Amino acid sequence: MAQEVVVLGEEIGKVRLITLNRPRQLNVISSKVVSLLADFLEKWEKDENAELILIKGAGRAFSAGGDLKMFYDGRTSNDSCLEVVYRMYWLCYHIHTYMKTQVALVHGISMGGGASFVVPMKFSVVTEKTVFATPEASIGFHTDCSFSYILSHLPGHLGEYLALTGARLNGKELVVAGLATHFVPSEKLPELEKHLISLNSGDEKAVKSAIEEFSMDVQLDEESVLNKLSIIDECFSKDTVVDIIKSFEAEATKEGNGWIGAILKGLKRSSPTGLKITLKSIREGRKQTIAECLKKEFRITMNILRTAISADVYEGIRALTIDKDNAPKWDPPTWNEVDDEKVDLVFQPFKEDLELQIPGKEDCRWSGKYENSPYAALS
Protein backbone atom coordinates (compact mmCIF):
# COMPACT_ATOMS: atom_id res chain seq x y z
CA MET A 1 0.00 0.00 0.00
CA ALA A 2 1.38 3.41 -0.99
CA GLN A 3 2.36 5.59 1.94
CA GLU A 4 0.10 8.56 2.53
CA VAL A 5 1.65 11.91 1.62
CA VAL A 6 0.71 13.91 4.73
CA VAL A 7 1.60 17.34 3.29
CA LEU A 8 1.27 18.20 -0.39
CA GLY A 9 3.36 21.01 -1.86
CA GLU A 10 2.50 22.32 -5.32
CA GLU A 11 4.40 24.91 -7.35
CA ILE A 12 2.13 26.85 -9.73
CA GLY A 13 3.86 29.80 -11.37
CA LYS A 14 4.80 32.17 -8.52
CA VAL A 15 2.29 30.55 -6.15
CA ARG A 16 3.08 27.72 -3.74
CA LEU A 17 0.14 25.68 -2.41
CA ILE A 18 0.43 23.62 0.79
CA THR A 19 -2.31 21.10 1.60
CA LEU A 20 -2.41 19.41 4.99
CA ASN A 21 -3.40 15.95 3.80
CA ARG A 22 -4.56 13.70 6.63
CA PRO A 23 -8.31 14.28 6.21
CA ARG A 24 -9.39 11.12 8.04
CA GLN A 25 -7.38 12.26 11.08
CA LEU A 26 -8.63 15.88 10.76
CA ASN A 27 -5.13 16.85 9.57
CA VAL A 28 -3.54 16.40 12.99
CA ILE A 29 0.12 17.36 13.22
CA SER A 30 2.65 14.53 13.31
CA SER A 31 6.43 14.67 13.20
CA LYS A 32 6.34 14.08 9.43
CA VAL A 33 3.87 16.95 8.91
CA VAL A 34 6.16 19.37 10.76
CA SER A 35 9.28 18.25 8.87
CA LEU A 36 7.63 18.57 5.46
CA LEU A 37 6.14 21.99 6.25
CA ALA A 38 9.49 23.32 7.45
CA ASP A 39 11.26 21.98 4.33
CA PHE A 40 8.71 23.58 1.98
CA LEU A 41 8.71 26.94 3.75
CA GLU A 42 12.50 27.19 3.88
CA LYS A 43 12.86 26.18 0.23
CA TRP A 44 10.20 28.65 -0.93
CA GLU A 45 11.42 31.57 1.16
CA LYS A 46 14.78 31.18 -0.57
CA ASP A 47 13.21 30.68 -4.04
CA GLU A 48 13.05 33.97 -5.95
CA ASN A 49 10.26 32.57 -8.14
CA ALA A 50 8.01 31.91 -5.13
CA GLU A 51 5.95 34.94 -4.06
CA LEU A 52 2.68 33.73 -2.56
CA ILE A 53 2.20 30.81 -0.15
CA LEU A 54 -1.30 29.36 0.27
CA ILE A 55 -2.10 26.78 2.96
CA LYS A 56 -5.30 24.76 3.35
CA GLY A 57 -6.53 21.51 4.87
CA ALA A 58 -7.92 18.56 2.94
CA GLY A 59 -11.43 17.39 3.83
CA ARG A 60 -13.69 18.94 6.47
CA ALA A 61 -10.99 20.27 8.81
CA PHE A 62 -8.09 22.66 8.50
CA SER A 63 -6.17 21.03 11.37
CA ALA A 64 -7.26 19.68 14.75
CA GLY A 65 -3.78 20.35 16.18
CA GLY A 66 -1.19 18.02 17.68
CA ASP A 67 -1.50 14.25 17.47
CA LEU A 68 -2.54 13.42 21.05
CA LYS A 69 -2.17 9.67 20.53
CA MET A 70 1.46 10.23 19.52
CA PHE A 71 2.11 11.95 22.86
CA TYR A 72 0.25 9.26 24.80
CA ASP A 73 2.05 6.40 23.07
CA GLY A 74 5.36 8.07 23.93
CA ARG A 75 4.61 8.37 27.63
CA THR A 76 6.84 5.45 28.66
CA SER A 77 9.76 6.32 26.37
CA ASN A 78 12.35 8.88 27.35
CA ASP A 79 11.69 12.15 25.48
CA SER A 80 10.12 10.30 22.55
CA CYS A 81 8.26 13.45 21.43
CA LEU A 82 11.10 15.92 21.98
CA GLU A 83 12.01 16.05 18.29
CA VAL A 84 8.51 16.88 17.05
CA VAL A 85 8.05 19.49 19.82
CA TYR A 86 11.39 21.14 19.04
CA ARG A 87 10.73 21.17 15.29
CA MET A 88 7.17 22.51 15.73
CA TYR A 89 8.10 25.47 17.94
CA TRP A 90 11.11 26.28 15.75
CA LEU A 91 8.74 26.23 12.75
CA CYS A 92 6.26 28.50 14.58
CA TYR A 93 8.95 31.16 14.83
CA HIS A 94 9.55 31.01 11.08
CA ILE A 95 5.84 31.23 10.32
CA HIS A 96 5.56 34.38 12.46
CA THR A 97 8.57 35.97 10.74
CA TYR A 98 8.13 34.61 7.20
CA MET A 99 9.47 36.84 4.43
CA LYS A 100 6.81 36.14 1.79
CA THR A 101 3.07 36.71 1.63
CA GLN A 102 1.11 33.87 3.22
CA VAL A 103 -2.62 33.15 3.03
CA ALA A 104 -4.39 30.52 5.14
CA LEU A 105 -7.69 29.25 3.72
CA VAL A 106 -9.38 27.95 6.85
CA HIS A 107 -12.35 25.65 6.45
CA GLY A 108 -13.60 23.66 9.45
CA ILE A 109 -11.73 22.87 12.66
CA SER A 110 -8.62 24.89 13.43
CA MET A 111 -7.47 24.09 16.94
CA GLY A 112 -4.34 24.40 19.06
CA GLY A 113 -1.22 23.82 16.98
CA GLY A 114 -3.36 23.71 13.83
CA ALA A 115 -4.32 27.34 14.41
CA SER A 116 -0.64 28.29 14.56
CA PHE A 117 -0.69 27.88 10.76
CA VAL A 118 -3.52 30.43 10.61
CA VAL A 119 -3.29 33.34 13.03
CA PRO A 120 0.27 34.53 12.26
CA MET A 121 -0.31 34.62 8.49
CA LYS A 122 -0.47 37.95 6.69
CA PHE A 123 -3.95 36.93 5.56
CA SER A 124 -6.18 34.32 7.16
CA VAL A 125 -9.52 33.60 5.53
CA VAL A 126 -12.23 31.92 7.61
CA THR A 127 -15.77 30.76 6.84
CA GLU A 128 -19.04 30.08 8.66
CA LYS A 129 -17.74 26.53 9.21
CA THR A 130 -14.48 27.55 10.88
CA VAL A 131 -14.12 26.55 14.54
CA PHE A 132 -11.17 27.78 16.60
CA ALA A 133 -10.14 26.76 20.13
CA THR A 134 -7.08 26.32 22.33
CA PRO A 135 -8.30 23.55 24.67
CA GLU A 136 -4.92 22.27 25.90
CA ALA A 137 -5.15 23.39 29.55
CA SER A 138 -8.23 21.25 30.14
CA ILE A 139 -6.26 18.03 29.55
CA GLY A 140 -3.30 18.98 31.73
CA PHE A 141 -1.23 20.59 29.00
CA HIS A 142 -0.77 24.32 28.27
CA THR A 143 -1.44 26.85 25.51
CA ASP A 144 1.53 26.35 23.17
CA CYS A 145 2.63 26.67 19.52
CA SER A 146 3.10 30.45 20.03
CA PHE A 147 -0.37 30.98 21.54
CA SER A 148 1.06 32.16 24.87
CA TYR A 149 2.22 35.10 22.73
CA ILE A 150 -0.83 35.44 20.47
CA LEU A 151 -3.52 35.17 23.15
CA SER A 152 -1.69 37.36 25.65
CA HIS A 153 -1.69 40.19 23.10
CA LEU A 154 -5.47 40.16 22.55
CA PRO A 155 -7.47 43.06 24.02
CA GLY A 156 -8.14 43.01 27.76
CA HIS A 157 -8.17 39.54 29.29
CA LEU A 158 -9.76 37.69 26.38
CA GLY A 159 -6.52 35.72 26.08
CA GLU A 160 -6.79 34.28 29.60
CA TYR A 161 -10.43 33.41 28.92
CA LEU A 162 -9.69 31.52 25.68
CA ALA A 163 -6.63 29.76 27.12
CA LEU A 164 -8.22 28.62 30.39
CA THR A 165 -11.69 27.69 29.13
CA GLY A 166 -10.79 26.34 25.67
CA ALA A 167 -13.88 28.23 24.48
CA ARG A 168 -14.64 28.00 20.77
CA LEU A 169 -14.81 30.95 18.43
CA ASN A 170 -16.52 30.87 15.03
CA GLY A 171 -15.31 32.53 11.83
CA LYS A 172 -17.03 35.87 12.43
CA GLU A 173 -15.69 36.02 15.99
CA LEU A 174 -12.15 35.30 14.79
CA VAL A 175 -12.25 38.31 12.47
CA VAL A 176 -13.67 40.61 15.15
CA ALA A 177 -11.09 39.39 17.70
CA GLY A 178 -8.25 40.02 15.23
CA LEU A 179 -7.31 36.32 14.99
CA ALA A 180 -8.26 36.20 11.29
CA THR A 181 -8.31 38.87 8.60
CA HIS A 182 -11.25 38.00 6.31
CA PHE A 183 -14.57 36.15 6.34
CA VAL A 184 -15.59 34.41 3.10
CA PRO A 185 -18.66 32.15 2.71
CA SER A 186 -17.47 28.54 2.43
CA GLU A 187 -19.03 28.00 -1.00
CA LYS A 188 -16.78 30.76 -2.37
CA LEU A 189 -13.52 29.41 -0.91
CA PRO A 190 -12.57 27.17 -3.89
CA GLU A 191 -13.18 30.08 -6.26
CA LEU A 192 -11.02 32.37 -4.09
CA GLU A 193 -8.23 29.81 -4.14
CA LYS A 194 -8.34 29.67 -7.96
CA HIS A 195 -8.40 33.48 -8.11
CA LEU A 196 -5.31 33.78 -5.89
CA ILE A 197 -3.47 31.19 -7.97
CA SER A 198 -4.34 33.04 -11.20
CA LEU A 199 -3.21 36.32 -9.59
CA ASN A 200 0.29 34.80 -9.68
CA SER A 201 1.72 37.47 -7.40
CA GLY A 202 2.70 37.97 -3.78
CA ASP A 203 2.07 41.71 -3.86
CA GLU A 204 0.27 42.36 -0.57
CA LYS A 205 -2.06 45.03 -1.90
CA ALA A 206 -3.06 42.86 -4.87
CA VAL A 207 -3.63 39.81 -2.64
CA LYS A 208 -5.69 41.83 -0.15
CA SER A 209 -7.76 43.30 -2.95
CA ALA A 210 -8.32 39.83 -4.44
CA ILE A 211 -9.53 38.43 -1.11
CA GLU A 212 -11.81 41.45 -0.58
CA GLU A 213 -13.63 40.63 -3.81
CA PHE A 214 -14.94 37.54 -2.00
CA SER A 215 -15.05 38.62 1.65
CA MET A 216 -17.99 39.94 3.65
CA ASP A 217 -18.26 42.37 6.53
CA VAL A 218 -19.10 40.51 9.69
CA GLN A 219 -21.61 41.21 12.41
CA LEU A 220 -21.44 39.31 15.66
CA ASP A 221 -24.40 37.19 16.73
CA GLU A 222 -26.11 38.74 19.74
CA GLU A 223 -25.07 35.90 22.07
CA SER A 224 -21.38 35.99 21.03
CA VAL A 225 -18.94 35.88 23.91
CA LEU A 226 -17.22 38.90 22.33
CA ASN A 227 -20.26 40.90 23.44
CA LYS A 228 -19.46 39.90 27.05
CA LEU A 229 -15.95 41.33 27.26
CA SER A 230 -16.67 43.48 30.30
CA ILE A 231 -17.53 40.33 32.30
CA ILE A 232 -14.51 38.49 30.91
CA ASP A 233 -12.18 41.36 31.81
CA GLU A 234 -13.67 41.60 35.29
CA CYS A 235 -13.23 37.88 36.03
CA PHE A 236 -10.14 36.88 34.07
CA SER A 237 -8.04 39.80 35.28
CA LYS A 238 -7.90 38.23 38.76
CA ASP A 239 -4.50 37.11 40.04
CA THR A 240 -5.07 33.37 40.45
CA VAL A 241 -7.09 30.54 38.94
CA VAL A 242 -9.04 30.22 42.20
CA ASP A 243 -9.92 33.94 42.20
CA ILE A 244 -10.89 33.82 38.52
CA ILE A 245 -13.28 30.93 39.14
CA LYS A 246 -14.79 32.58 42.24
CA SER A 247 -15.35 35.79 40.31
CA PHE A 248 -16.88 33.88 37.37
CA GLU A 249 -19.17 32.01 39.80
CA ALA A 250 -20.38 35.32 41.23
CA GLU A 251 -21.16 36.62 37.71
CA ALA A 252 -23.03 33.39 36.87
CA THR A 253 -25.65 34.17 39.52
CA LYS A 254 -26.60 37.46 37.86
CA GLU A 255 -29.54 37.78 35.50
CA GLY A 256 -28.72 37.25 31.83
CA ASN A 257 -25.51 35.36 32.54
CA GLY A 258 -26.83 31.85 31.88
CA TRP A 259 -24.07 31.38 29.28
CA ILE A 260 -21.46 31.16 32.06
CA GLY A 261 -22.77 27.89 33.54
CA ALA A 262 -21.48 25.45 30.93
CA ILE A 263 -18.12 27.23 30.68
CA LEU A 264 -17.71 27.21 34.45
CA LYS A 265 -18.51 23.49 34.53
CA GLY A 266 -15.78 22.86 31.95
CA LEU A 267 -13.28 24.96 33.91
CA LYS A 268 -13.98 23.01 37.10
CA ARG A 269 -13.45 19.70 35.31
CA SER A 270 -10.10 20.81 33.85
CA SER A 271 -6.68 19.84 35.18
CA PRO A 272 -5.84 22.19 38.08
CA THR A 273 -2.14 21.90 37.18
CA GLY A 274 -2.82 22.63 33.50
CA LEU A 275 -4.86 25.72 34.40
CA LYS A 276 -2.23 27.14 36.75
CA ILE A 277 0.64 26.59 34.28
CA THR A 278 -1.41 28.10 31.45
CA LEU A 279 -2.39 31.23 33.39
CA LYS A 280 1.24 31.90 34.36
CA SER A 281 2.39 31.36 30.77
CA ILE A 282 -0.20 33.76 29.29
CA ARG A 283 0.61 36.41 31.88
CA GLU A 284 4.35 36.10 31.15
CA GLY A 285 3.61 36.20 27.42
CA ARG A 286 2.41 39.82 27.65
CA LYS A 287 5.95 40.93 28.42
CA GLN A 288 7.76 38.51 26.10
CA THR A 289 8.81 38.53 22.45
CA ILE A 290 7.64 35.74 20.15
CA ALA A 291 11.09 34.10 20.49
CA GLU A 292 10.97 34.28 24.29
CA CYS A 293 7.47 32.79 24.34
CA LEU A 294 8.47 29.86 22.15
CA LYS A 295 11.56 29.13 24.26
CA LYS A 296 9.38 29.21 27.38
CA GLU A 297 6.76 26.95 25.77
CA PHE A 298 9.48 24.43 24.85
CA ARG A 299 10.61 24.24 28.49
CA ILE A 300 7.05 23.89 29.78
CA THR A 301 6.12 21.22 27.24
CA MET A 302 9.19 19.10 27.90
CA ASN A 303 8.70 19.36 31.67
CA ILE A 304 5.02 18.41 31.34
CA LEU A 305 5.79 15.44 29.07
CA ARG A 306 8.54 14.39 31.51
CA THR A 307 5.90 14.55 34.29
CA ALA A 308 8.14 16.93 36.26
CA ILE A 309 5.33 17.91 38.62
CA SER A 310 2.30 15.88 37.44
CA ALA A 311 1.26 13.19 34.95
CA ASP A 312 -2.03 14.99 34.26
CA VAL A 313 -1.36 15.37 30.53
CA TYR A 314 -1.37 11.59 29.99
CA GLU A 315 -4.42 11.15 32.22
CA GLY A 316 -6.19 13.93 30.28
CA ILE A 317 -5.41 12.36 26.90
CA ARG A 318 -6.44 8.93 28.19
CA ALA A 319 -9.82 10.21 29.37
CA LEU A 320 -10.49 12.22 26.21
CA THR A 321 -9.19 10.10 23.34
CA ILE A 322 -8.01 6.66 24.52
CA ASP A 323 -10.65 5.29 26.91
CA LYS A 324 -13.04 8.16 26.13
CA ASP A 325 -14.61 7.95 29.58
CA ASN A 326 -14.26 11.73 30.13
CA ALA A 327 -13.52 10.99 33.78
CA PRO A 328 -9.92 12.08 34.39
CA LYS A 329 -8.44 11.67 37.86
CA TRP A 330 -6.20 14.70 38.30
CA ASP A 331 -3.14 14.69 40.54
CA PRO A 332 -3.40 16.84 42.54
CA PRO A 333 -7.20 16.97 42.27
CA THR A 334 -7.84 20.57 43.42
CA TRP A 335 -6.41 24.02 42.64
CA ASN A 336 -5.45 24.65 46.25
CA GLU A 337 -3.24 21.55 46.25
CA VAL A 338 -1.22 22.69 43.22
CA ASP A 339 1.94 24.16 44.74
CA ASP A 340 2.92 27.47 43.07
CA GLU A 341 6.61 26.71 43.64
CA LYS A 342 6.18 23.45 41.74
CA VAL A 343 4.46 25.33 38.91
CA ASP A 344 7.49 27.64 38.78
CA LEU A 345 9.72 24.59 38.24
CA VAL A 346 8.33 23.87 34.77
CA PHE A 347 9.33 27.40 33.67
CA GLN A 348 12.97 27.11 34.73
CA PRO A 349 15.49 27.71 31.90
CA PHE A 350 17.47 24.77 30.54
CA LYS A 351 21.22 24.89 29.94
CA GLU A 352 21.76 27.29 27.03
CA ASP A 353 22.61 24.60 24.45
CA LEU A 354 19.49 22.60 25.44
CA GLU A 355 17.11 25.52 24.90
CA LEU A 356 15.05 25.88 21.73
CA GLN A 357 17.50 27.59 19.37
CA ILE A 358 15.76 30.59 17.78
CA PRO A 359 18.00 32.24 15.16
CA GLY A 360 19.01 35.74 16.24
CA LYS A 361 20.24 37.15 12.92
CA GLU A 362 18.41 37.41 9.62
CA ASP A 363 21.36 36.14 7.58
CA CYS A 364 21.22 32.79 9.39
CA ARG A 365 17.50 32.71 10.00
CA TRP A 366 17.08 29.02 9.16
CA SER A 367 19.73 27.93 11.67
CA GLY A 368 19.01 26.31 15.04
CA LYS A 369 17.46 23.17 13.53
CA TYR A 370 16.85 20.08 15.63
CA GLU A 371 19.43 18.04 13.71
CA ASN A 372 22.13 20.53 14.75
CA SER A 373 21.11 20.48 18.43
CA PRO A 374 22.64 18.34 21.17
CA TYR A 375 19.31 16.52 21.37
CA ALA A 376 19.87 14.94 17.95
CA ALA A 377 23.19 13.47 19.09
CA LEU A 378 21.51 12.06 22.21
CA SER A 379 18.63 10.39 20.39
* Catalytic residue positions, numbered: 66, 113, 136, 144
Whether residue 145 contacts residue 89, with contact meaning beta carbons closer than 8 Å, is answered with yes
Nearest partner of 25 among 73, 56, 61, 74, judged by Cα:
61
Cα separation, 238 vs 81, whole angstroms: 34
Q: Would you put residue 30 in left (φ > 0), alpha (ψ -120 to 50) or beta? A: beta
Whether residue 85 contacts residue 143, with contact meaning beta carbons closer than 8 Å, is answered with no
Q: Please list the residues that pair with 109 across neighbouring strands.
A: 61, 131
Whether residue 296 contacts residue 277, with contact meaning beta carbons closer than 8 Å, is answered with no
Q: What is the DSSP string of 206-226?
A: HHHHHHHTT-B-----TT-GG
State the distance between the two ends of the chain, measured CA to CA, in whole angstroms.
Answer: 30
CA distances (Å), origin 373, targets 282, 290, 292, 316, 358: 27, 20, 18, 30, 11
Length of the chain: 379
Q: Is 223 exposed, middle or buried (0-12, 13-18, 19+ CB in 10 A)?
A: exposed
CA atoms within 13 A on the CB side of 315: 21
